[in-house]
Structure 1
Amino acid sequence: MRDRPTEMPDIQLLLGQDDAHLSHRVAIADWLAALPYPAAAFSFEDNRLSMVATNAPFGNCFTCSNPGEAERPHAAEWRRRIVQSVLSGRDSEGFELRRDGMLGPEYFYCTVGRLPEPDGEPNLFLFTALDRTSDRTIEKNLRRELLSDGLTALPNRTGFGEEIEDRLTNTPWPDNAQFGILAIDLSRFSRVNESLGPMAGDELLITVAKRLKSSLRQGDVLARIGGNDFAIFARINNGLSDALHIVQRIRDSLSYPIRLSDLQIRVDCAIGCALSTSLTEDPEDVVRKAQAAVKIAKRSGKVEIYRNGVLKEAQRRFSVESRLRDALAQGGLTLAFQPLIHLQTGEITGFEALARWEDEELGHVSPAEFIAVAEESGLITPLGRWAAYEAAQALSRWDAKFGQALPVGVNVNLSPIQMARDDVASMFEEALRYAGISGKRLTAELTESAIVADPEKARKLLFALKDLHMPIAMDDFGTGYSNLASLHSLPIDILKIDRSFVTSMLEDRDKEIMVRTILSLAESLGLHVTAEGIETQQLAHALQNLGCWQGQGYYFARPMAEGDAYDYWRARWNFETV
């Protein structure tokens, strides 16, 4: 325990601004000596700057240390800045100075302030300098981290833009020169992560970055602008031929397999290129054009050069995706129903449910467009679920309106991407349970490509659907790569002949032979056949004579709204001949 003093010292503060200045009893040099950082007092009279007093840190940093020593290179700069501050007429001013030190650049934050003017003294000014070198070093390191990719040490998307600006601003360019951006997307990179783990994926990216860097010319800039996306900024002197030459160098650098653990992996990539129209063009626009081109390259498997309109197409896809997301959330889509007709009796055996979309901003959006966007963006899963639930609910509403179960069903299309990503069997089980209808009335339509992509997963799904008593139809048959073994081993009930064979079969002998072959094959396998694209009575009669079971097309009816589809069935309930 320490005893507290019984009496505290009497501390009096100076009162008023007139007393808050340097006492004349203490020399200016003594005040400066008390400061731990460089400081000096100057007088300025008759446009002359004279040094009145300095402290030791100032002498070490800003003046020559030995008599006769040459003036430090930065001395003229700090004197110029002091004079500039004095002439501004302000009471105080701050600025930053840079000087070359023994260990590299040093940075000082300097202030110039006007001192009180005692009688008979010229204008006096106080100069101080705070060392901010460590702060600037920290800022520089943080900026480097913000502008570079931590894995490959390449510039990231933001750093790439700054590197381009620096090249365009500080490098001499010929009058006819232009620049190009090459976007590179590593194919099947996600499979490496899934199969070998993220560490192997990181090692692959580092190796690819090194190889790409080895293919650069002097002045080119390589950046990692996404997870498995790289980009190259290149000076183009000879137009497209220069860009294609760089593409070949990239392909050569990636032509040799990369060893990861005990495996050798060959890296494939999609490459898209965009060339600037002039050096004044916004580099960010050129980068976006290159990225639009690489998306097309991923689908085509070839190098794609940006052409006018591609960016507009990409912007259109983005708008469609954004509006489609809102439409799915707010109930902006509807189902249309196209009837399926029994060709021998004219009876309506069911309907195919087709998604339709009228948007307030985009107007009518075709299914071919928004379904492709949905598959690309991942929205196909909620879209497919919505269609299945809504189709089942439509059957339930028809039953309620009719007073009993209608003798018709509804076909629902399945996307291969939805089959790969979603629990489709659970989705259909829920749709049937919520609607209170039998699985026999809901037919799943899938394409040949869905089976070819992952045969084992497709097999498990189809048998799970059969457990729900759902019929299964193979859509667009004849355009894919199905073999007899898969048709025989999978629980498929219906083959739908693609409209490309049906619509011209009367004029094209080869198409007619194809249709006959499919009908014969289906008969031998015990499968029903539906012909799509029937648009004339002659086609309907020809398919009827060939023994085709079911047909659909504009000859019978176009897709119609739910209420119109019910009325259409009621009108033909007593059956009609084809």
Structure 2
Amino acid sequence: MLASEEGLPPEVLRYRQDYLEALPIAAAVIGLQDGKPGIIAANDKLNLVAGPDLPRRYMAQMSGRLRAFLLSDEEHLEYQWQEPGIGNRHFTVRFSRLSPAVNHARRCLLSLVDRTAQVETERSLRAEMLHDSLTGLPNRLAFNEAVEAAIEADAGGQDSFAVLVVDLTRFSRINECMGSMAGDELIITVARRLMATLRAGDVLARLGGDEFGILLRLADGPGDALQAARRIASTFATPIRLSELEICVDCAVGCALMNGRAAQAGDIIRNAQFAMKRAKQSGRVEVYQPGEVSAARRRFSLETELRRAIDRDELSLAFQPLINLETNSVSGFEALARWIHPDHGPIPPSEFIPVAEESGLIVPLGRWALDATARTLAEWDRRTGRVLPVYAGVNVSAVQLQRDDVAAGVAGALGANGLDGSRLTLELTESAIISDPDRAGRVLTALKMLDARIAMDDFGTGYSNLAYLQKLPIDILKIDRSFVTGMLADRDSIAIVRAVLSLADALGMKTTAEGIETVELARTLAALGCSTGQGYYFAKPLSADDALDYLLARAA
């Protein structure tokens, strides 16, 4: 008992002790004596929680903070305290001011809550949160934290770290064919092989699915990252045995160097993922190039704005004439989608068409193009008072052919505008046909039943199986401009053009040459037997009104 408490009636001391014992937590009354804090009274729970040597540990660990509290005007103070040493307990310590003693000495109530079980549970849960349950590797969250720590360590921006993202290129197929158990076994085996390629201090994590992340310290500059990527690629050279099969697994590796331009872990990991996506296409290790994220954001923004433009009917069509090279008359037009953004001006098709295909907007865009083309043809007939002897070609993408009922869309556009099927020609690329030849065959047959014509666009630039030309009801082969533009000066190009023209003639098909820009090209192609020509020599793509004027002027 402190000297300041001596002389108090026994019943007062007893009541105070009874109050302390009634508290549900470990507690003690603390007072100042000669400027030093000391225990006035304590309940039994304090000894149970803190042990009998609390005074010694308390004086060593808490006295300074407690003395400052007693000398201050604060009413409450709470903080977390861990006993010194390894594996010791954790407490929530709270000071609550009491009224002064009879001699005006300052006092407070000290309470301790043992949080050791809670802290250990939190640690266990955090460990589970930060590790992948299948491989035992750090997961995406832990990898983010590791990269954040590396960014802080690399504050000078000296490119001393790099992040690699590794993605298995055939995992989904293996998972589908052999089942999820085999897929899990493959992931575990891959994790072990990747771990064997790393140096001390490198961090390997499973980011999700078949994607792994690696944080590398670059001891000798960026070349270390490429060497690590080569080691990773070589580790997959040996097949992996699953059940009774030996599976050859390949991977795509993307790399991003850590520097001042990547301020957050999410940025540099995303940069590596962008590079990995390019690696899937190129088949080699790719390093992130500045500007890729901005381009992706622009594509995403463009997708949103394109969806809005389609909904609001803000797109338009341009019509490029198709000229009969024998009679020099207009046979038809190719309908081309155009988009003039209210803020950014014209957006080229080479930019928004890939966005439409990637996002699935190519389906409503393709439907819109069919309807708008049919409406334009019907409007021309109405304005001239007769059915014009011209057709319009409408492009159908591979994605549209796979996802949409193209024949139903054509039938709807024809029926709504009172047109015969011969007024529309559907232009498909080789890739659209080859990607799913059975579906393409069914769609093309349905289109032929509507009397529509089929043109194979960009013929010669892909990998066509010539057997498809016999099996599928194709009417027109369009010779790509890459062969036409320089054919007069390139013997190989003119040989290819001759071969396509001969093939089309043998199969009873018409031909259209794209990219005719001079009179010499037009005359040469006509002499070689090409049916139709298209290009700037005849006319650039025209608005609907200008296209009709062009048609009537050439017919006069």
Q: CA deviation at 1:149?
A: 4.9
2:70 counterpart residue number: 86
Deviations 1:233-262 (A, max 9, x none): 111111222101211222233334445566
1:328 counterpart residue number: 310
Alignment of 1:537-552 (within 5 A): 537-552=519-534
1:180 match: secondary structure: strand
Q: CA deviation at 1:497?
A: 0.6
Deviations 1:103-131 (A, max 9, x none): x5643222110112342362221011223
Q: CA deviation at 1:490?
A: 1.6
In structure 2, do the counterparts of structure 1 residues 398 and 539 end up closer, same or farther at CA, with 3 Å as the change threshold? same
2:22 counterpart residue number: 34
> Quick check: 1:482 aligned with 2:470?
no
User: Which TM-score applies when normalising by structure 2?
Assistant: 0.88
Correspondent of 1:59 among 28, 35, 47:
47
Correspondent of 2:106 among 120, 123, 130:
123
2:82 counterpart residue number: 98
Q: One-letter code of the match for 1:30? A: D
> Quick check: 1:379 aligned with 2:361?
yes
Q: CA deviation at 1:519?
A: 1.0
In structure 2, do the counterparts of structure 1 residues 302 and 346 end up closer, same or farther at CA, with 3 Å as the change threshold? same
The range that moved more, 117-126 or 197-206, is 197-206
In structure 2, do the counterparts of structure 1 residues 436 and 298 end up closer, same or farther at CA, with 3 Å as the change threshold? farther
Correspondent of 2:482 among 500, 508, 511:
500
2:161 match: secondary structure: strand
1:237 match: secondary structure: coil
The range that moved more, 437-446 or 93-102, is 93-102
Contact 1:215 1:253 in 2 (8 A): yes
* Cα separation, 2, equivalents of 1:482 and 1:130: 77
* Cα separation, 2, equivalents of 1:175 and 1:341: 60
1:77 counterpart residue number: 61
1:112 match: secondary structure: strand
> Quick check: 1:415 aligned with 2:403?
no
In structure 2, do the counterparts of structure 1 residues 333 and 51 end up closer, same or farther at CA, with 3 Å as the change threshold? same
1:507 match: secondary structure: coil
2:452 counterpart residue number: 470
2:147 counterpart residue number: 164
> Quick check: 1:111 aligned with 2:99?
no
In structure 2, do the counterparts of structure 1 residues 366 and 174 end up closer, same or farther at CA, with 3 Å as the change threshold? closer
Q: CA deviation at 1:297?
A: 1.7
Q: One-letter code of the match for 2:387? A: A
The range that moved more, 275-284 or 367-376, is 275-284
Deviations 1:63-102 (A, max 9, x none): 4459xxx955x86334444334334421112212233799
The range that moved more, 135-144 or 331-340, is 135-144
The range that moved more, 294-303 or 326-335, is 326-335
Q: CA deviation at 1:504?
A: 1.3
In structure 2, do the counterparts of structure 1 residues 43 and 365 end up closer, same or farther at CA, with 3 Å as the change threshold? same
Q: CA deviation at 1:443?
A: 1.3
Q: Structure 2: any 5+ residue segments left out of the alignment?
A: 1-10
2:327 match: secondary structure: coil
Deviations 1:160-196 (A, max 9, x none): 2212223455x79999671001122332444445555
In structure 2, do the counterparts of structure 1 residues 201 and 326 end up closer, same or farther at CA, with 3 Å as the change threshold? farther
User: Which TM-score applies when normalising by structure 1?
Assistant: 0.85
Alignment of 1:33-432 (within 5 A): 33-64=21-52, 71-72=56-57, 76-99=60-83, 104=87, 106-120=89-103, 122-137=105-120, 139-140=122-123, 143=126, 147=130, 149=132, 152-167=135-150, 169=152, 178-192=160-174, 195=177, 201=183, 204-259=186-241, 264-277=246-259, 281-432=263-414
In structure 2, do the counterparts of structure 1 residues 411 and 397 end up closer, same or farther at CA, with 3 Å as the change threshold? same
Contact 1:497 1:530 in 2 (8 A): yes
Deviations 1:520-551 (A, max 9, x none): 11111100000100111121111112221111
Q: CA deviation at 1:232?
A: 1.5
1:16 counterpart residue number: none
* Cα separation, 2, equivalents of 1:441 and 1:279: 55
2:553 counterpart residue number: 571
Tell me how large the CA RMSD over aligned residues is: 3.2
Contact 1:96 1:108 in 2 (8 A): yes
Deviations 1:380-409 (A, max 9, x none): 333333323332333233333334433222
* Cα separation, 1, equivalents of 2:157 and 2:486: 57
Contact 2:70 2:106 in 1 (8 A): no
Aligned pair count reads 546
In structure 2, do the counterparts of structure 1 residues 468 and 157 end up closer, same or farther at CA, with 3 Å as the change threshold? farther
1:447 counterpart residue number: 429
Q: One-letter code of the match for 1:558? A: K
